[in-house]
Amino acid sequence: MDTSTLSDVANRMVAPGKGILAADESTGTIGSRLLSIGLENTEDNRRSWREILFTTPGIEEQISGVILYDETIRQNGSDGKRLIDNLTSLGIMPGIKVDKSTSPLENAPGELFTSGLDGLRDRLAEYRNLGATFAKWRAVITVAHGIPTARGIKVNSEALARYAGLCQEAGIVPIVEPEVLMDGDHTIEKCYAATEATLSQVFSDLIDSGVYLEGIVLKPNMVLSGSDAPNRADAAEVAERTITCFRRTVPAAVPGIAFLSGGQGDEEATVNLDAMNRSELDRPWNMTFSYGRGLQAAPLKKWGQDTSDITGTQEVFARRAKIVAAASRGEYSADMERG
């Protein structure tokens, strides 16, 4: 294991003022988004959309890396170059989603388990040869009556630890993504309890598995009220509870935390990230973003209005990236949304 390279890549991924674009939507998920703007789910349309994002001028100033889907890491753009080469020419690191589908955990109503460990060592070797420098695996933790259970957390945590170890063995930085879902009407206190239990187990299993913590990036949820909860907590409380929870569970050795947007709206995810970076609570890690919809929703809507307006669509994407990057520095203002 080349620990110095792993540490270097992880630190570059969460460099101050930069974050990660999640463009790893499955064929079905990106198809739903294309359908929302009246486009068919074809390979050409999927390629065109991702190429618009990846070739946006100046985006390397806010984006350190892009998480790709298996189809995308193999695709050529309209110029005949590999899409991945367009990223690396800008100094943007390419990553790859390696988890597969979630399925119900046996004898555990309401809880899910992520598959994808079978054959992962060989797939990682192939992705490394294709140019991937980091990877991503998402574990899903549901909050509802009686769940998550300790067993539900444990089986997902052990899979994350095995994945992370295999990544580092292959010379790839693992993004460790345990997501406590915001779906439901639960309180922020319940999200806090589930997040604390999940992160405690995840880092226990990572350490037991010999994972080099200085060579990972954590991609967690924020501690939030459920999306359907009455009187949802404001940004100040989200920041206080999230940082407090992480100070109790996330070792200082971890280079940085790249939050997922997790179903939040564009502005909510940005305001919450900004509040955390303005907080006076001490924290040893850089706190940035790894957003999918939080970066893509606005430019996708613009593209749907006129698919020939590539420049206009890229301007909207670049603006969204600048806004979110400002939040990662604690410099966001609501006027940026209206500017």
pLDDT band at 85 (very low <50, low <70, confident <90, very high): very high
Q: Give percent above pLDDT 70 in the chain.
A: 100
Q: What is the pLDDT of residue 188?
A: 98
Please say if the pLDDT value at position 158 is more than 70.
Answer: yes
Mean pLDDT of 125-136: 98
pLDDT band at 299 (very low <50, low <70, confident <90, very high): very high
Mean pLDDT of 311-337: 95
User: What are the structure tokens assigned to 53, written together?
Assistant: 């994002």
Q: What is the pLDDT of residue 331?
A: 96
Strands of 127-281, DSSP E:
134-141, 173-180, 217-218, 256-259
Tell me the per-residue pLDDT of 218-254, one tens digit each, with 9 for 90 and over.
Answer: 999 999 999 999 999 999 999 999 999 999 999 999 9
Average pLDDT, the chain: 96
Which of 25, 51, 219, 268 is an active site residue?
219
Please say if the pLDDT value at position 127 is more than 90.
Answer: yes
CB 157 within 8 A of CB 201: yes
219 labelled catalytic: yes
CB 243 within 8 A of CB 200: no
Tell me the per-residue pLDDT of 25-79, one tens digit each, with 9 for 90 and over.
Answer: 999 999 999 999 999 999 999 999 999 999 999 999 999 999 999 999 999 999 9
Which of 177, 179, 196, 268 is an active site residue?
177
Please say if the pLDDT value at position 339 is more than 70.
Answer: no
Q: What is the pLDDT of residue 334?
A: 86
In 3D, which of 256, 260, 254, 255 has the Cα closest to residue 223?
260
CB 232 within 8 A of CB 272: no
Q: What is the pLDDT of residue 115?
A: 96
Q: What is the pLDDT of residue 262?
A: 85
**136 C-beta neighbours (distance < 10 Å), count:** 24
Mean pLDDT of 189-205: 98
Please say if the pLDDT value at position 338 is more than 90.
Answer: no
Alpha-carbon span 112 to 163, nearest angstrom: 17
Mean pLDDT of 122-147: 97
Backbone angles phi, psi at 94, to 5 degrees: -90, 135
177 labelled catalytic: yes
CB 49 within 8 A of CB 34: yes
Tell me the per-residue pLDDT of 253-286, one tens digit each, with 9 for 90 and over.
Answer: 999 999 999 888 889 999 999 999 999 999 999 9
For domain 3-338, is the CATH number 3.20.20.70? yes
Mean pLDDT of 130-149: 97
Domain ranges for the chain: 3-338
Q: What is the pLDDT of residue 1?
A: 74
Alpha-carbon span 203 to 208, nearest angstrom: 8
In 3D, which of 126, 158, 125 has the Cα closest to residue 139?
158
Helix (H, G, I), strand (E, B) or coil at 260: coil
User: What are the structure tokens assigned to 38, written together?
Assistant: 């009246």
Backbone angles phi, psi at 204, to 5 degrees: -65, -45
Nearest-10 crossing angle of helices 293-305, 310-328: 160
